[in-house]
Amino acid sequence: MCGIIGYAGNRDIKKLLVESLKRLEYRGYDSVGIGIISDKLNVFKEVGDVSNFERKLPKLKGNIGIGHTRWATHGEVSKLNAHPQISCNNKIAVVHNGIVENFKELKEKLKGHKFESQTDTEVIAHLIEENYKGSLLEAVCLAIKKIKGSYSIVVISEDEPDKIVGARNESPLIIGLGDGENFLASDIPAFLKYTKRVVYLNDEEICLLKNDSIKIYDLNGNEKLKEETIINWDIKDAEKSGFPHYMLKEIHDQQDTIQRALIGRIFEIEREIKFEEIIESLLTNRYNNIHIIACGTSYYSGFVGKYLIENLTGIPVYVDLASEYRFYGIRDNSSLVIAISQSGETSDTLAALKEAKKSGCNTLVITNVIGSSATRIADGFILTQSGPEIGVAATKTFTSQIIVLFLLALKISFNLKNIGTQQLYEFILQLKELPRKARAALDQSATIREISKDFFKERSFLFIGRGINYPLALEGALKLKEISYIQAEGFAAGELKHGPFALLTKNFPVVVIVTKDISYDKILANIGEAKARGAKIIAIADQNDTDIEKYADIVIRYPSVSNMLACIPISIILQLLAYHIADLRNCSIDKPRNLAKSVTVE
């Protein structure tokens, strides 16, 4: 969750470290710090945000430095507990993401060491000092062999002022390759301004960086040769581009990101959907069932995928929270397991994916980040191609995940001969129209803001839907509570009478997702039941639905599209509703309290 940056080179090091940490703020944090080696090791730390920290920094020079934004796990939010953590002799500094599970045991064994903080990270610094015999690389290697748990660590030492050592295990760490400079970071946006050339570290690998070289080793000291990857994102993708918040910019990105998710995968003339060879191979197998595993918003996209895949293929689909599946999920080698993770680094999803692999299941990952841990664990992966998503609340990656799941559903259905070439062609034509439908939904933003002015002071909301709209209701509620701090719950509309009706009072806001499918009459009846109890109905309905005004107090229209693909413009409207309510409440939209973008610890 925390942000890490390391740099070896000749740029203005204070400016570079601070700018890089600002680009990692979306990961969530409560304190910040940097360590720079000039004539000696200098460490500066502060509680609060990076901008406040920057104002307090003195002039600094150096060619080697590390920085960190901390999200508290061990110990309270304080300067003492912020990173970097340093050794007893004040010569070694460490920044760390993850959890050292055996830190108490290690602490007891480090006789004669005085500890200043409550963190598990400080133990790493002291452990490296204990093992230091003139080689920082060897000392780090010996130290991490004694650590149990997940980690990505970056270390500098006053005694070796031209080196940075990094290591990872179940927590991301990426090398950025420059000309006369090199970087280490927990995520690509930290150094994307300076280079698009990256090398991904795998678990139990350790690297030695200088400004003009990198070397990578396993924990036994064997050097490893690694291929570099060129990132196709542009720095403007990770900037606000004139929008007041990253989230609003990323909501508006969706006309483009939907197109990106389709490029190279749908072919109108050939009337085909194509994936890379390994994916094609996985999808030709006949599966008794499909399991989708994910967390948070990715879980809800998987839930939408369940409706799409079952409708088109007839194959039973089970959607599991990764945190549950890893311990309780039923696995057999006749299953296809699809893991969904925006970052490809979500801790519970990775653990669940590994369990599926152990059980002999075929595994497929849908992610936004090439080279992420998930892409290296699974049998195959599909990229959503959304570009960097900075806002903590997922938006464009949610709709891109749904697009990929729909393409998978169509491909499997075609392979099973459930649909023919003509039906596939008709779906392809509908998919090609989606960017334009997204634009029409985005054009509702001003209307949605006006509507939000009547509701932004409310304390609770209900979101309801039927069929594929049920997971959309869950996601709409999640978006609202994430960024506005309003208590919001999503329900299958038929379940209102089984408990949620007790919540309804006069003018209680109920957001109802309405599509003209087989349950249309039922959802209208549900609206009537809610209104009879005094609720205020905000309906999200098809632009051609001429009856909905008779039932709802307020109607937000989405552009007409097939019932299976209406989930895309509806999702955009739900995102805009959450955004405008949160903005009117002056909430911290891009960095909601207590939340982080990438959940890389359990």
User: Is 479 in a helix, a strand, or coil?
Assistant: helix
Enumerate residues 6+ apart whose C-beta is below 8 A from 559: 436, 437, 440, 441, 543, 569
Establish whether 587 is a catalytic residue. no
Residue 256 is classified by DSSP as H
Q: Quick one: tokens of 244? A: 């007041």
Which one of the listed residues 163, 196, 249, 597 is annotated catalytic? Answer: 597
CB 221 within 8 A of CB 186: no
Measured distance CA(82)–CA(415) in Å, rounded: 54
Q: Buried (b) or exposed (e) across 301-339, using 16+ Cβ within 10 A? A: bbbbbbbbbebbbebebbbbbbbebbeebebeeebbbbb
Residues making up the chain, counted from first to last: 602
Which one of the listed residues 2, 141, 361, 567 is annotated catalytic? Answer: 2
Measured distance CA(135)–CA(573) in Å, rounded: 57
Q: Of 116, 66, 70, which is closest to residue 89 (Cα–Cα)?
A: 116
Dihedral sign, Cα of residue 443, residue 447, residue 453, residue 454: negative
Q: Buried (b) or exposed (e) across 434-473, using 16+ Cβ within 10 A? A: bbebbbbbbebbeebbebbeebbebeebbbbbbbbbbbbb
The string of DSSP codes covering 137-182 is HHHHHHHHTT--EEEEEEEEETTEEEEEEEEEESS--EEEE-SS-E
C-beta neighbour count of 525 within 10 angstroms: 14
Measured distance CA(156)–CA(589) in Å, rounded: 35
Establish whether 2 is a catalytic residue. yes
Q: Quick one: tokens of 63? A: 């060619």
Q: What backbone phi and psi angles, to 5 degrees, belong to 420?
A: -100, -175
Q: Of 475, 465, 490, 479, which is closest to residue 541 (Cα–Cα)?
A: 465
CA angle 459, 464, 465 (to 5 degrees): 160
CB 567 within 8 A of CB 2: no
Q: What backbone phi and psi angles, to 5 degrees, belong to 142?
A: -65, -40
Q: Please state the three-class secondary structure of 173-203 as a single string.
A: CEEEECCCCEEEECCHHHCCCCCCEEEECCC
User: Is 545 in a helix, a strand, or coil?
Assistant: coil
Q: Quick one: tokens of 195? A: 């280079």
Please identify every residue annotated as catalytic. Answer: 2, 597
